[in-house]
Amino acid sequence: MADDPEEGMLGWDESVFRNEHVFEIDYLPETFHHRDSQMESLKYSLRPAVRGSRPLNVIARGPPGTGKTTAVQKLFSELRAQTRDVQAVRVNCQVNGTRYSVFSRLFEGIFDYEPPSSGISFKRLFEQVTDRLVEQEQVLVVALDDVNYLFYENEASDTLYSLLRAHEEHAGAKIGVICISSDLDLDVIEELDGRVQSVFRPEEVYFPKYDEPEIVDILGERVDRGFHEGVVSAPVLDRVAELTAESNGDLRVGIDLLRRAGLNAEMRAAKSVSKEDVEKAYDKAKYIHLSRALRGLSDSEAALAAVIAEHSGEQAGDVYEAFHEQTDLGYTRYSEIINKLDRLGIIDATYTEVEGRGRSRELTLNYEPDAVLERLE
């Protein structure tokens, strides 16, 4: 009898995934490996909050995808389970890049509903947050995730000043701050105003890149929880880990790569993921940094990224002409956006000598133009 051609193939109602949510960006793993010393340092800094005192401030630094956000989220979850006397609120500064929007998220975290979208001043918003903390005798721990975005928008000093000096405005207010930054070129302390430097004085917790064995260990657990048994073999997992290590050890690349490879296997109606599924998936997963950076851009910033994609390698003055035609924005704002795109790693803006024009910045895209334009659509 001839072999059944459909044997070993997925049925319409079957999936290679046991739990696809394991590969989503907001998934919080039950176990958190290879970050014991960082967790202990964070606990040490926040322990005073449990006793009703102001916690130590912290800067959590490290390359992207090294567990900084996960560490803080797990610690905040433990705090909430242990006591009601501590309010722990994480703010995504890529989305909330102004002092007002940061305090709006703090208001929402404390009151469990959003503040009015208009008609309330920052002073009033600030007072309502601090009044509630004093009234409930609670300590507030704020995690400013991707705090580098506040620096890109020149909002960092004002935001931290309001948080760290809240007790001067309202006696009894106790607030501690964790700044999470993936921009290793950003010196958080040096970039702050002197009035903030004098009161911030943070502990520093560094999150290094994961090495390849650590990546295999962590992704292996995701595989066990997210896929059915036998879907991802050891050689396939090793290849995923290898590609992740090549992507600066960013675990988010590896996690996204596993999900996309699983979807590729399902598209073939296969019951297991092949190395070819992984290689094909990597063509998209490797752009996870780019996609994340582009998502946080305003319309004018995205417009300039698109213009540079079409004029990569040209001088800043020439690029400005094309940008100004589209947006009608002035050169000062244009220069500010260049600096932001440069710090985000989307472009390189390097000074060169131009004959007859002196020094000028050459704007070069760090990605394939099509990859940028496709993700801006």
Report which residue type is found at 250: D
- Measure CA of the first residue to CA of the last residue in the chain; give whole Å: 53
- Whether residue 70 is annotated as binding a ligand: the answer is yes
- Whether residue 244 is annotated as binding a ligand: the answer is no
- Whether residue 364 is annotated as binding a ligand: the answer is no
Q: Provide φ and ψ at 86, rounded to 5°.
A: -125, 125
CA atoms of 281 and 259, how far apart (whole Å): 9
321 alpha-carbon distance from chain centroid = 33
Burial of residue 307 (number of CB atoms within 10 Å: 0-12, 13-18, 19+): buried
- Whether residue 69 is annotated as binding a ligand: the answer is yes
Cβ atoms within 10 A of the Cβ of 362, count? 18
- Gyration radius from the chain CA atoms: 24
- Whether residue 176 is annotated as binding a ligand: the answer is no
- Whether residue 268 is annotated as binding a ligand: the answer is no
How many Cα atoms occupy the beta-carbon half-sphere of 240 within 13 Å? 33
- Whether residue 271 is annotated as binding a ligand: the answer is no
CA atoms of 315 and 357, how far apart (whole Å): 11
Q: List CB contacts of 68: < 8 A, sequence separation 6 or more.
A: 60, 61, 62, 145, 180, 182, 207
343, 346, 373, 356: which is closest to 317 by C-alpha? 356
Torsion of CA 336, 341, 344, 349, to 10 degrees: -100
- Residue list for the binding site for ATP: 66-70, 210, 222
- Residue list for the binding site: 66-70, 210, 222
